[in-house]
Structure 1
């Protein structure tokens, strides 16, 4: 127990830094969709495209981020991501001040989302690789679990914080906060040592690493669609239904996500990744269907809560299995490849959900999320029976 506490204390600056970075992501999720729809007057498809392009940018730079972490050190990769996040805040602020020029502001938002995607790729790949390297691969599940807590706590708190600050102070101050949070993220980890690198190690090509972890990655991809539906469109669903508290939807999703990780962090190691993932996916599917059938705000919020519980342990449960398939020198690349499936999911899910919303309304996209969770379960069953 003492050793466990020491490990968590060792990587706590990284967790705080990740929390600050994902507060920035949560801030944009609480601000950008409403800005595009209400002030720039573009369609739900455009909302989905702008939100989703960040995840595409993250996807396309995963190999680069993994290579930086493995060859220059995980600390270097993570700090590059922090600098990019700071730059992103400036671009968002510029886009907001150009909002009277709708097309130009939209173009700047696309640029900001692309930059934000690159920043996220570097920051989270570096942070995960760094944390595992500092405490040892045998605690990789714990590192991924606590990284996830920092990530989704940041998203869950960032979105309502952005909504509140936008109403009280103005959207420009919200984007300015991103710059401050980036500086905090940098300062938190500045004294931690970088990881040694082995330049003589023969690197496995990225496409081969993807092949090694593809089954876990595909299951992760389909399981992530429900999260994409909530993060991109839950605010607009509440507006469409005249429900008054979209912030509570973000808070309950993130809150139950974090609580599940806090109290069930050891489950993947104790019960195995397959069992934990299957139970988690079933809960997520029920949560998505509840939102899809919701006739009241309370029912939708319960659906968000169940989605948070279900989605919580999927990444660490499958991720531990994924990184066991590669050598320690390729851990950053493997984590980048594994997370790339998450990025593919979010990059595709946003525009597809936007099209579905345009045809059938915002509530219909949560049936899409529920079916995706069922497909993820099917992938795991097929893998198990091979």
Structure 2
């Protein structure tokens, strides 16, 4: 779990660091948002393939370790290219290749929980794993903001790479496939690309065929697209309200802190995960509206806190649905494929938010809030249909 927190903290730190670096070098959010979009969009390919590799590897921790090393190296190339004022198209290309390994930092770790915790402690480990995203989301942007304010965006990006490398021993130390679990699929090797292709299709099929998984996944994709608009807007909003773009990273830290507190408060809630996901998404959208209308940094921070109070429980509820509905033999693929879908939606939101934030940061945040409304509609549709039949 410590390795996952360190790796995810480095990942959460890298996004704000890239945004601040690009904004400082060019004075425009366009390059930074384009690089961030490139870093995330390729997860659509990387996630499903990584899921197959993890399910079939005898030592999945080594797969995660190589992914961490490759991701850290790619980030160094992107940041170094920014500092050297390399052409933007080249930077985006490097980011796209690096992003293929991105799902290792999210679903890749979560898929290993049954081997690490065993069936008797899986529920507790899942709760801690969900909260680790909030811890990383709190520490990453906060570190990025502090380091960027002191040493600039390049220094913040370098620190994020150091954190990713620090997680390598934990990844390599993960147990062999199936250890501690009686429900996992035995690791297998060989079979060629035909078998890999079939297993990728199986992972997608179970998400599409299962109604609860499909609805929760679609809603999370729509919602994260709007969250990306908030993430891209944060440095611009911070610069507008305080004169320093690094304060935008602190806004993202407020979002993560509020999410952590909300998760802790709702840990023992008897409510179903679908209801928690819908309410959390609505609260997230309300926070974005407050941020859009903010005239001071403190009002923006209040809106960020409201957004986080919704985003934290929303993520925990999504994990609960996946663990409940995913077949044991495809659990790894469901998590990594689901993560890749969310990351790809985040990339789309980032790409749309760059030009929009350059025109109006308030309009960008309102667009993100509108997407939360759409996500709530996806989750609430069956409830409304049942109410209409009564």
TM-score by length of 1: 0.84
Task: Tell me the equivalent position of 2:164.
Answer: 182
Q: Which residue of 2 aligns with 1:224?
A: 224
1:150 aligns with 2:139: no
The correspondence of residues 85-124 of structure 1 with structure 2, limited to 5 A, is: 85-99=71-85, 101=86, 103=87, 106-124=88-106
Find the counterpart in structure 2 of residue 277 from structure 1.
Answer: 277
In 2, the alpha carbon distance for the partners of 1:332 and 1:163 equals: 34
C-alpha displacement of 1:233:
1.9
Question: CA offsets per residue over residues 109-161 of structure 1, 9 Å max, x none?
Answer: 32453244223212323211111333346765644443333233223322332
The Cα shift of 1:272 comes to 0.8
Does residue 51 (structure 1) correspond to residue 62 (structure 2)? The answer is no
Give the Cα separation in 1 of the matches to 2:12 and 2:321: 28
1:199 aligns with 2:188: yes
Cα offset for 1:376? 1.1
Structure 1 residue 296: deviation in Å? 2.0
Any conservation in 2 of the 1:256–1:308 contact (CA below 8 Å)? yes
Paired residues in the alignment total 364
Q: Matched residues in 2 for 1:280 and 1:38: separation? A: 34
| C-alpha displacement of 1:354 | 2.3
In structure 2, relative to structure 1, the CA distance for the partners of 1:260 and 1:218 (3 Å cut) is same
Taking a change above 3 Å as real, the CA distance of residues 59 and 252 of structure 1, as seen in their structure-2 partners, is same
Shift of the 187–121 alpha-carbon distance from structure 1 to 2, 3 Å rule, reads same
1:227-238 alignment to 2 at 5 Å?
A: 227-238=227-238
Q: Which runs of 5+ in 2 are unaligned?
A: 179-185, 190-194
Select the residue among 57, 60, 64 that pairs with 1:78: 64
Provide the rounded CA distance (Å) in 1 between the counterparts of 2:301 and 2:219.
Answer: 25
3-state DSSP of counterpart to 2:325: coil
- Whole-angstrom distance in 1 between the partners of 2:272 and 2:249: 34
Q: What corresponds to 1:168 in structure 2?
A: 150
Partner residue of 1:210? 207
Deviations 1:148-206 (A, max 9, x none): 33233223322332333244345444333334322320123443312232439994623
Report the counterpart of residue 11 of structure 1 in structure 2: none
Cα distance in 1 for residues equivalent to 2:225 and 2:322: 20
- Residue in 2 that maps onto 1:287: 287
Contact 1:292–1:363 under 8 Å retained in 2:
yes
| Structure-to-structure mapping, 1:31-50, within 5 angstroms | 31-41=17-27, 43-50=28-35
Q: Distance in 1 between matches of 2:142 and 2:20?
A: 13
Matched with 2:263 is 261
Q: What is the match of residue 307 of structure 1?
A: 307
State the partner residue of 2:338: 338
* Residue in structure 2 matched with residue 5 of structure 1 by the alignment: none
Q: Structure 1: how far apart are the matches of 2:230 and 2:124? A: 26
- Partner-residue secondary structure (3-state), 1:271: coil
Q: Distance in 1 between matches of 2:120 and 2:43?
A: 27
Q: Hey, what's the Cα distance between the residues in 2 that align with 1:145 and 1:59? A: 26
Report the 3-state secondary structure (helix = DSSP H, G, I; strand = E; otherwise coil) of the residue aligned with 1:224.
helix
Compute the displacement of 1:334 (Å). Answer: 0.9
Secondary structure in structure 1 of the residue aligned to 2:326: coil
Residue 82 of structure 1, CA deviation: 1.6
For 1:45 and 1:272, the matched residues in 2 are separated by 40
TM-score computed with the length of structure 2 as normaliser: 0.83
